[in-house]
C-alpha cells in the first residue's frame, strides 16, 4: 500500500465535527462579551451610514433603480459582516488553538480527525455568523430597509459567504507564522470591505469594474442585494458559483494543510 | 547625567518594535489610506454630486472634509489598540513590566514611557497619512502640519485612559467591549466622516464627551479654508479638554499600575 | 477508577497477544530519518519504557504509536489493528499524555475533562461521573472550577494524566510525564502511575530520568540515533552493561588523567571524566583500598550501586546531544 493511500482516508473522514462546536459553546460561556459585542459592529456602521452619510449622498442608482443610500448600503454591510465574522473566527481564534493553546493536538489524540477539526471550526464560524445575520436582518426590517419576504433569502446567502471566507481564512491560518501576521489579514480584508461595491456602486469604477469582480465579497454583496430586492436574474448563478468553487477548493486544501501540520 | 526613567522605558519599546515595524506599516498607514480612498474618494464622488451637501460640509469637497478626520482617527486607533493587548501582555504574558519594576524604574516611569512611545507611534502614523494627503490638490494644505500635532495629542488622550483600563482588565472580552462599544462607534459617529449636526442631539453629546471629536474639529479648522480666521480661544478649549483626558488617564494608570506591581 | 475492571497481571506478562507490535518501523521527515527501523513488542499489563537522549527518536516513535503520525515504512499494529486504516478506532482505546501540556486554557479544570470525554463520544452524564472520579484521583477536586491558566506545573501535569484516562484506556502513552516537575510532584505522579499499573493498564513511557525508569518500568529499550541499542528489564541491563558497584573518586583539579593512569587495571573498567574518575567494579570497597594501596589520595571517594544511568551513558556516550 502506498503512503498516499494510507494518509488520505484520515484526512477527509468527517465523524464528529460537532464536538468541536460543543467545546466552543462551553469556552465562550465565559467570554460571552466577545460574541455579544460582535453583533454591534455592522449595526453601528449601518446606523452611521444611515444617519450621517445617507443625507449627504441622497439616492443611489443601482440596477436601473434609484434607492436611498441606507437601503443601498445595508445589504452590503450584511454581506461584509458575514465575511468579517467568518474571517475572525477562522484566523485569530484558529491560530491561537493551532499554535499556542495546541487544542487541536489534544483533539487528534482522541478519535477526532483533522477533518473533524476543520469542519467543526468552519461550522462554528457559520453558526455564529447566522446568529449575527438574523439579528442584522431583523434590524434592517425594523428600519424599513427590507422590501419583501425574499429578504429572508439573504440568510442562506450569508451562510455561503461565511463558508467561503471561513475556508479561505482557515487555509491562510495554516501558513501563519505568528500573531503579527494578523496585521496582514486585517489589511487584506479592508480593500475587500471598502471596494466590493459596498459603499458605492460598481459603475463608479468605470473601466476598472473588472477589478472589483475579482473580490469574492463583491459576488456575495450582489447576491444579498438581489435577495433583499427580490430581483432574481441569471447572473446570480454565476455569483453563487464563484463562491461555491472558492469554498470547495479552499476547504480541500485546508484539510490537507491541517493534516500535514498536525499529523506529522 | 543618566537617562531619565521614562526614556529608558521608551528605549525598550523601540528595541521590540524594530522586529515588527514592517507589519505595523500595514496597519498604521495602509489601512487609513484605504479608508480615505474608499470613503473619502469613492463615497465622496456620490456626495459631491449631490448639490445640497456642499453647504453641510462648509463648502469643501467631501475628501477634504474627511481627510483631517482620517488623520485624527488613525492616531486614536493606534493609541487605543496599542494600549490594550500590549499592556495586558506586559503584566501577564511577557511580564516586562514586572521586569522593569525589579529595577530602579517605577510605575510612573513605565506609564510615562508608554505615553511617550504612544505619542511617537501616533505622531508618525498621522504624519505618514499627512504626507500622502499633501500629494493631492484637494487635500494639500499647510494646515496638515498642526493637524498632525493635534492628532498626536488625541492619540495620547486615548492611550492613557486605555492603559489605565487595561491594567485592571481581567479577560480578553474587556477589550472586545472597549473596541466595539467605544472605539468603533467613535470612529463612525465622532465627526470624522460627517458633521455631528447630522446626528440626533443625544448622540452628539456622547460624541462630544470623548476627545476624538474635539481633535477632529480643531484639525479640520486648520486644514480646510473657511474664509474665516481661526478662533484660537475655541482651539485652546478643545485642546484643553483633550489634554484633560490624557492627564486623568495618566494619573489613574500610575495608581493602578502601582497597586498591581507593588501590592 | 473503579471502572478499570481487569486486575493486575503485571507480574506475569505472558499473554500470547502483544498489545503493540512494531517491525522495521521507520519515520522520516523531509529526508531526515528520525526512527531507523525498530522492532518491539509490548504485552498487556506491561510498563514499558523508552530511554534515550534528546533526538533519539523516542517522541517520533510515541507519536506513531499514538496514531497521530503516519508510519513512513515498516509495520505497526496496536490491538492487532493498523493505525493507517483504523487510527480512530485505536485512539478510542488509548490515552495520551503529551510531552508538552495541551490542556485547554480557555476551559476550567473539570470542563477540560468533560470536553475531552465528549471527543470520545462519551455521554454527558458519563463524562461528569468520570470527571469527578478522575479529579479525585489527580488530587484536583478542590480546583475543579479553576481556570487552567492558574494551575501550577505539577497540577497541570496531573490534569493531563487525568484527562488521558477519561476513556478508560487499555493503553496509556506517557511522553516525558515528569519533565520540569519538582521532586514532590514527581513522587505523587509515580505513585498514581503505579496504581494504574496495579489496575492492569498497559503503560508506555519515555523519559530521560534513570530513576524514573528504574522505579516504574518492567522492561525498557534504550534508543540512540533512531535505533534500539539495548533491551531488557532495568536489572538485566545493569547486569549486562555495567558492574555491580561504581567507585567515584575526586582528585585535585587537573590531575584526573594522571590518576586515571595510576588506577589502570583496578575493577573491570575505569573512566576519566572532567570532574571525576569512575572505577567500575563488583566490589567497590576492595577497589578503593587497592587505589589507596597504589598511592592515590582522592579528595573524596564514594562507592555506590550501579544505576541505569551508568548503562545509559555507556550506551549512548557522554557528549551532549541537543
Apex B84 CA angle, B82 and B87, nearest 5: 90
B20, closest residue in chain A (CA to CA): A180
Neighboring chain A residues of C98 at a CB cutoff of 8 Å: 105-106, 109
Rounded average pLDDT over C157-184 = 89
Alpha helices per DSSP H over C82-182: 83-91, 109-119, 124-137, 153-164
Residue A8 maps to a domain: no
Rounded average pLDDT over A118-136 = 91
CA distance, residue C171 to nearest chain A CA (Å) = 13
3-state helix, strand, coil in chain C (%, to 5): 35, 25, 40
Neighboring chain A residues of C163 at a CB cutoff of 8 Å: 106
The helix/strand/coil state of C104 is coil
Best mutation target among A35, A48, A68, A201 (most B Cβ atoms within 10 Å) is: A48
B6-41 confidence digits (pLDDT tens)? 888 888 888 877 777 776 777 778 888 888 888 888
Q: Position of cell 534500539?
A: C228
Contact A183 B52 (CB under 8 A): no
- Please tell me if residue A30 touches chain C, with a CB cutoff of 8 Å: yes
- Residue A10 confidence (pLDDT) above 80: no
pLDDT of residue B226: 64
Contact C118 A108 (CB under 8 A): no
Contact A3 C72 (CB under 8 A): yes
Cα separation, C16 vs B183, in Å, equals 69
The helix/strand/coil state of C301 is strand
Q: Return all residues near B215 (Cβ < 8 A) that are at least 6 apart.
A: B72, B75, B76, B150, B151, B153, B154, B157, B238, B242
Neighboring chain A residues of C65 at a CB cutoff of 8 Å: none
Q: Return the closest-CA partner of residue C93 out of C156, C159, C44.
A: C44
Neighbours of chain B (3+ CB pairs under 8 A): A
Cα separation, C121 vs C119, in Å, equals 5
> How many CB atoms sit inside 10 A of residue B250's CB?
21
Neighboring chain B residues of A199 at a CB cutoff of 8 Å: 38-39, 42-43
Q: Return all residues near B193 (Cβ < 8 A) that are at least 6 apart.
A: A48, A52, A53, B39, B66, B69
pLDDT of residue C113: 95
Neighboring chain B residues of A31 at a CB cutoff of 8 Å: 171-173
Contact B189 A48 (CB under 8 A): yes
- Please tell me if residue B177 touches chain A, with a CB cutoff of 8 Å: yes
DSSP C149: G
B28-82 confidence digits (pLDDT tens)? 788 888 888 888 888 888 898 887 787 788 888 899 999 999 999 999 999 999 9
pLDDT of residue A3: 43
Cα separation, C4 vs C170, in Å, equals 9
pLDDT of residue C318: 61
pLDDT of residue A140: 94
pLDDT of residue C11: 43
B109-155 confidence digits (pLDDT tens)? 999 999 999 999 999 999 999 998 988 888 888 999 999 999 999 99
Neighboring chain C residues of A94 at a CB cutoff of 8 Å: none
Neighbours of chain C (3+ CB pairs under 8 A): A
- Please tell me if residue A263 touches chain C, with a CB cutoff of 8 Å: yes
Tell me the residue range of the domain where A96 lies: 85-264
- Region(s) of chain C under CATH 3.40.50.300: 20-238
Neighboring chain B residues of A101 at a CB cutoff of 8 Å: none
- Please tell me if residue B92 touches chain A, with a CB cutoff of 8 Å: no
- In degrees and rounded to multiples of 5, residue C175 shows phi and psi of -100, 105
pLDDT of residue A7: 44
3-state helix, strand, coil in chain B (%, to 5): 80, 0, 20
Give all strands of the β-sheet with C277-281 in edge-to-edge order. C269-272, C277-281, C245-250, C300-305
Cα separation, C290 vs C293, in Å, equals 5
- Residue B174 confidence (pLDDT) above 50: yes
Residue A138 maps to a domain: yes
Asked if C135 and C109 count as a contact pair (C-beta separation under 8 A), the reply is: yes
Asked if C199 and C45 count as a contact pair (C-beta separation under 8 A), the reply is: no
Q: How many residues does chain C have?
A: 322
Lowest-pLDDT range, A143-157, B232-246, C237-251? C237-251
Q: What confidence tier does C112 reach under pLDDT thresholds 50, 70, 90?
A: very high
Neighboring chain A residues of C160 at a CB cutoff of 8 Å: none
B219-233 confidence digits (pLDDT tens)? 999 998 766 778 899
Contact C119 A27 (CB under 8 A): no
Contact A33 B173 (CB under 8 A): yes
pLDDT of residue B227: 66
Give me the half-sphere count of Cα atoms (radius 13 Å) on the Cβ side of residue C252.
4
- Please tell me if residue B59 touches chain A, with a CB cutoff of 8 Å: no
Query: Which secondary-structure segment (H or E) carries B28?
Result: none
Cα separation, C113 vs C136, in Å, equals 12
Neighboring chain A residues of B180 at a CB cutoff of 8 Å: 37-38, 40-41, 44
ipTM: 0.89
List the helix and strand counts (H, then E) for chain C.
Answer: 11, 13
Q: Return the closest-CA partner of residue C199 out of C49, C45, C78.
A: C45
DSSP A145: -
Residue A110 maps to a domain: yes
Contact A199 B39 (CB under 8 A): yes
Residue A60 maps to a domain: no
> How many CB atoms sit inside 10 A of residue A55's CB?
18
Contact B184 A41 (CB under 8 A): yes
Asked if B183 and B83 count as a contact pair (C-beta separation under 8 A), the reply is: no
Fold of C239-316: Alpha-Beta Plaits (3.30.70)
Contact B199 A52 (CB under 8 A): yes
CA distance, residue A40 to nearest chain B CA (Å) = 7
Interface of A to B at Cβ within 8 Å reads 30-34, 37-38, 40-41, 44-45, 47-48, 51-53, 55-58, 60, 69, 180-181, 183-184, 186-187, 190-191, 193-195, 199-200, 204
Domain C20-238 has CATH 1.10.357.10: no
Contact B172 A34 (CB under 8 A): yes
- Please tell me if residue B185 touches chain A, with a CB cutoff of 8 Å: yes
Contact B45 A69 (CB under 8 A): no
Neighboring chain A residues of C103 at a CB cutoff of 8 Å: 106
Neighboring chain A residues of B57 at a CB cutoff of 8 Å: 56
Joined grid coordinates for residue B184? 468603533
- Residue A118 confidence (pLDDT) above 90: no
- Residue C267 confidence (pLDDT) above 80: yes
**Number of domains chain A is built from:** 1
CA distance, residue A226 to nearest chain C CA (Å) = 41
Q: What confidence tier does A134 reach under pLDDT thresholds 50, 70, 90?
A: very high
- Please tell me if residue A99 touches chain C, with a CB cutoff of 8 Å: no
Asked if B194 and A52 count as a contact pair (C-beta separation under 8 A), the reply is: yes
Neighboring chain C residues of A106 at a CB cutoff of 8 Å: 98, 102-104, 116, 163
DSSP C147: B
Joined grid coordinates for residue B140? 494639500
Cα separation, A200 vs A47, in Å, equals 17
Q: Return the closest-CA partner of residue A262 out of A125, A123, A113, A119.
A: A113
Rounded average pLDDT over C180-203 = 87
- Beta bridge partner(s), residue C304: C246
Cα separation, A248 vs A252, in Å, equals 6
A13, closest residue in chain C (CA to CA): C88
Asked if B250 and B160 count as a contact pair (C-beta separation under 8 A), the reply is: yes
Sign of CA dihedral A252, A253, A256, A262: negative
pLDDT of residue A9: 53
> Looking at beta carbons, which pairs linking A209-215 to residues 24 or more positions away fall under 8 Å?
A215/A191
Amino acid at each position: 500500500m502506498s503512503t498516499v493511500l494510507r494518509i488520505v482516508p484520515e484526512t477527509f473522514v468527517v465523524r464528529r465535527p460537532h464536538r468541536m462546536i460543543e467545546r466552543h459553546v462551553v469556552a465562550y460561556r465565559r467570554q460571552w462579551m466577545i460574541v455579544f459585542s460582535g453583533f454591534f459592529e455592522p449595526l453601528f456602521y449601518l446606523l452611521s451610514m444611515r444617519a450621517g452619510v445617507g443625507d449627504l449622498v441622497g439616492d443611489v442608482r443601482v440596477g436601473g433603480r434609484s434607492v436611498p443610500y441606507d437601503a443601498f448600503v445595508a445589504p452590503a454591510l450584511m454581506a461584509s459582516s458575514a465575511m468579517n465574522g467568518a474571517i475572525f473566527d477562522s484566523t485569530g481564534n484558529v491560530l491561537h488553538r493551532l499554535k499556542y493553546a495546541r487544542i487541536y493536538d489534544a483533539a487528534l489524540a482522541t478519535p477526532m480527525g483533522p477533518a473533524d477539526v476543520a469542519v467543526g471550526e468552519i461550522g462554528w464560524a457559520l453558526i455564529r455568523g447566522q446568529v449575527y445575520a438574523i439579528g442584522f436582518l431583523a434590524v434592517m426590517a425594523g428600519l424599513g430597509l427590507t422590501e419583501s419576504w425574499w429578504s429572508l433569502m439573504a440568510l442562506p446567502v450569508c451562510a455561503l459567504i461565511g463558508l467561503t471566507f471561513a475556508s479561505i481564512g482557515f487555509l491562510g491560518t495554516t501558513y501563519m507564522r505568528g500573531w503579527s501576521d494578523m496585521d496582514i489579514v486585517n489589511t487584506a480584508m479592508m480593500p475587500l470591505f471598502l471596494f466590493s461595491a459596498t459603499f458605492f456602486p460598481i459603475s463608479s469604477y468605470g473601466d476598472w469594474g473588472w477589478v472589483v469582480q475579482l473580490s469574492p465579497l463583491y459576488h456575495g454583496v450582489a447576491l444579498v442585494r438581489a435577495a433583499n430586492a427580490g430581483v432574481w436574474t441569471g447572473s446570480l448563478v454565476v455569483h453563487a458559483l464563484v463562491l461555491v468553487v472558492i469554498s470547495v477548493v479552499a476547504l480541500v486544501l485546508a484539510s490537507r494543510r491541517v493534516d500535514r501540520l498536525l499529523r506529522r | 547625567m543618566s537617562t531619565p526613567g521614562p526614556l529608558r522605558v521608551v528605549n525598550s519599546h523601540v528595541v521590540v518594535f524594530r522586529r515588527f515595524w514592517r507589519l505595523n506599516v500595514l496597519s498604521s498607514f495602509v489601512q487609513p489610506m484605504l479608508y480615505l480612498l474608499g470613503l473619502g474618494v469613492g463615497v465622496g464622488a456620490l456626495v459631491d454630486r449631490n448639490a445640497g451637501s456642499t453647504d453641510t460640509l462648509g463648502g469643501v469637497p467631501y475628501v477634504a472634509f474627511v481627510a483631517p478626520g482620517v488623520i485624527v482617527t488613525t492616531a486614536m486607533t493606534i493609541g487605543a489598540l496599542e494600549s490594550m493587548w500590549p499592556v495586558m501582555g506586559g503584566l501577564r504574558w511577557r511580564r516586562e513590566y514586572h521586569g522593569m519594576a525589579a529595577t530602579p524604574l517605577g510605575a510612573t516611569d513605565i506609564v510615562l514611557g508608554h505615553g511617550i512611545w504612544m505619542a511617537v507611534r501616533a505622531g508618525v502614523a498621522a504624519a505618514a497619512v499627512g504626507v500622502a494627503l499633501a500629494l493631492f490638490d484637494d487635500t494639500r494644505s499647510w494646515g496638515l502640519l498642526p493637524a498632525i500635532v493635534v492628532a498626536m495629542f488625541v492619540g495620547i488622550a486615548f492611550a492613557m485612559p486605555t492603559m489605565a483600563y487595561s491594567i485592571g482588565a481581567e479577560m480578553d472580552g474587556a477589550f472586545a467591549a472597549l473596541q466595539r462599544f467605544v472605539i468603533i462607534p467613535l470612529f463612525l459617529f465622532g465627526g470624522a466622516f460627517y458633521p455631528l449636526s447630522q446626528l440626533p442631539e443625544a448622540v452628539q453629546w456622547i460624541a462630544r464627551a470623548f476627545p476624538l471629536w474635539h481633535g477632529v474639529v480643531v484639525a479640520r479648522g486648520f486644514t480646510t479654508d473657511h474664509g474665516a480666521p481661526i478662533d484660537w480661544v475655541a482651539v485652546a478649549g478643545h485642546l484643553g479638554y483633550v489634554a484633560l483626558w490624557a492627564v486623568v488617564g495618566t494619573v489613574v494608570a500610575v495608581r493602578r499600575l502601582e497597586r498591581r506591581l507593588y501590592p | 477508577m473503579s471502572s478499570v475492571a481487569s486486575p493486575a497481571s503485571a507480574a506475569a506478562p505472558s499473554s500470547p497477544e502483544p498489545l503493540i507490535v512494531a517491525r522495521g518501523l521507520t519515520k522520516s521527515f523531509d529526508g531526515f530519518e528520525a526512527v531507523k527501523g525498530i522492532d518491539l513488542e509490548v504485552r498487556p499489563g506491561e510498563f514499558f519504557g523508552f530511554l534515550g537522549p534528546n533526538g533519539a527518536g523516542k517522541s517520533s516513535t510515541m507519536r506513531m504509536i499514538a496514531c497521530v503520525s503516519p508510519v513512513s515504512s515498516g509495520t505497526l499494529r496496536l490491538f492487532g489493528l493498523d493505525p493507517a486504516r483504523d487510527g480512530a478506532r485505536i485512539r478510542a482505546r488509548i490515552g495520551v499524555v503529551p510531552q508538552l501540556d495541551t490542556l485547554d486554557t480557555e476551559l476550567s479544570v473539570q470542563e477540560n475533562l468533560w470536553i475531552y470525554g465528549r471527543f470520545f463520544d462519551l455521554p454527558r452524564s458519563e463524562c461528569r461521573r468520570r470527571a469527578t472520579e478522575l479529579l479525585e484521583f489527580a488530587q484536583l477536586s478542590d480546583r475543579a472550577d479553576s481556570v487552567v491558566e492558574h494551575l501550577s506545573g505539577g497540577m497541570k501535569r496531573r490534569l493531563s494524566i487525568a484527562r488521558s484516562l477519561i476513556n478508560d484506556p487499555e493503553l496509556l502513552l506517557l511522553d516525558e510525564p515528569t519533565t520540569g516537575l519538582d521532586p514532590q510532584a514527581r513522587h505523587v505522579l509515580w505513585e498514581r502511575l503505579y496504581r494504574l499499573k496495579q489496575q492492569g493498564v498497559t503503560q508506555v513511557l519515555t523519559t530521560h530520568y534513570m530513576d524514573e525508569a528504574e522505579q516504574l518500568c518492567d522492561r525498557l529499550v534504550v534508543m540512540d540515533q533512531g535505533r534500539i541499542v539495548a533491551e531488557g528489564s532495568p536489572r538485566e541491563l545493569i547486569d549486562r552493561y555495567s558492574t555491580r558497584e561504581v567507585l567515584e573518586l575526586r582528585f585535585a583539579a587537573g590531575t584526573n588523567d594522571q590518576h586515571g593512569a595510576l588506577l589502570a587495571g583496578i575493577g573491570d573498567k575505569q573512566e576519566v571524566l572532567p570532574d571525576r574518575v569512575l572505577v567500575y567494579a563488583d566490589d567497590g570497597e576492595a577497589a578503593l583500598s587497592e587505589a589507596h594501596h597504589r598511592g592515590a589520595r582522592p579528595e573524596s571517594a564514594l562507592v555506590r550501586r550501579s544505576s541505569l544511568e551508568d548503562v545509559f551513558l555507556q550506551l549512548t556516550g557522554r557528549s551532549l546531544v541537543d
